[in-house]
Amino acid sequence: MTNTDNISLKTRARTSGFLFLVWIATGLFGLMYIPAKINMQGEAADTARNILANELLFRTGVVVDLTGTAVWILMVLVFYRMFRQVNEFQTKLLVAFVLVQIPAVIMTDACNMLALVLFKGEAPNAFEFAQRQELAAVFLKINTSLTLVLEFFWGLWLLPLAVLTYRSRFLPRFLGAWLFVNGLAYLVLCFTGILFPLYSKTVYKIAFPVFFGEMALMLWLVVKGAKDNGLRIKKHEYEN
């Protein structure tokens, strides 16, 4: 590779790392901060009161989620440019497993907004007050089911990323191994939630340390970027 190629790869590594950082931050905001501030697990009437009392925060969660989704698309495109010389098929697989999730993610945000509309009473008069609340709660439950299904693809997209990281030579191999186990853990968590939902929390607690694989890669890309010794590998060496 030329010096220009080296600089370009270093730039892509750092760029992907910062996008990764933003994406993880938006994800934590939606998956951990919002549920901690707004309890949406109770009865429909209680959920309505909790959401309406924190309406701006609830709306902010939708905005942050949409922003994170856009950042995720940008991040995976940078990954494509960074990893395509390692293995083009695995890189395309990585992109495909991310893009297939986008419609479901958008649907969850739409369901949240529909639930808010119903809770606020901004629905056709054909529905009574109690019916609107119950219907809104159904939309929130749809989100829970969508999240469970998305866990399958959260695992799948990490598998090609793990292979690419392991084979890249410009990133540490232990990160690739960690990501692979991280991906498998998501798959196990998804299948457990579908087949044996009562054991989901137990499986999550057991596998919890494994889920830091994505964060480990993000921190490496932000702090270290790409290894110099990996940058000097010729193109034909990537394809072996």
Chain segment 169-218, per-residue pLDDT in tens: 899 999 999 999 999 999 999 999 999 999 999 999 999 999 999 999 99
Are 141 and 115 in contact by the 8 Å Cβ rule? The answer is: no
3-state secondary structure of 232: coil
How many CB atoms lie under 10 A from the CB of residue 228?
10
User: For the chain, what is the domain count?
Assistant: 1
Nearest 5°: CA angle at 16, between 220 and 10? 70
Tens-place pLDDT, residues 53-74 = 999 999 999 999 999 999 999 9
Q: Please give the residue range of the domain that contains residue 181.
A: 3-238
Predicted pLDDT of residue 124: 61
* pTM score of the predicted model: 0.85
Nearest CA among 228, 179, 204 for reference residue 32: 204
Alpha-carbon span 204 to 196, nearest angstrom: 13
- For 120-156, b/e burial (b = at least 16 CB within 10 A) is eeebeeeeeeeebbebbbebbebbeebbbebbbbbbb
Are 31 and 238 in contact by the 8 Å Cβ rule? The answer is: no
Indicate if the pLDDT at residue 128 is higher than 60.
yes
What is the H or E stretch that residue 214 is in?
A: helix 213-223
Predicted pLDDT of residue 238: 43
Q: Across the chain, which distance is largest between two alpha carbons, in Å?
A: 69
What is the H or E stretch that residue 65 is in?
A: helix 55-83
Predicted pLDDT of residue 144: 87
Please compute, for residue 78, the number of CA atoms within 13 A of its CA located in the half-sphere on the CB side.
20
Q: Alpha-carbon torsion 57, 62, 66, 72, what sign?
A: positive
Alpha-carbon span 155 to 67, nearest angstrom: 21
Residue for token digits 């083009």? 88
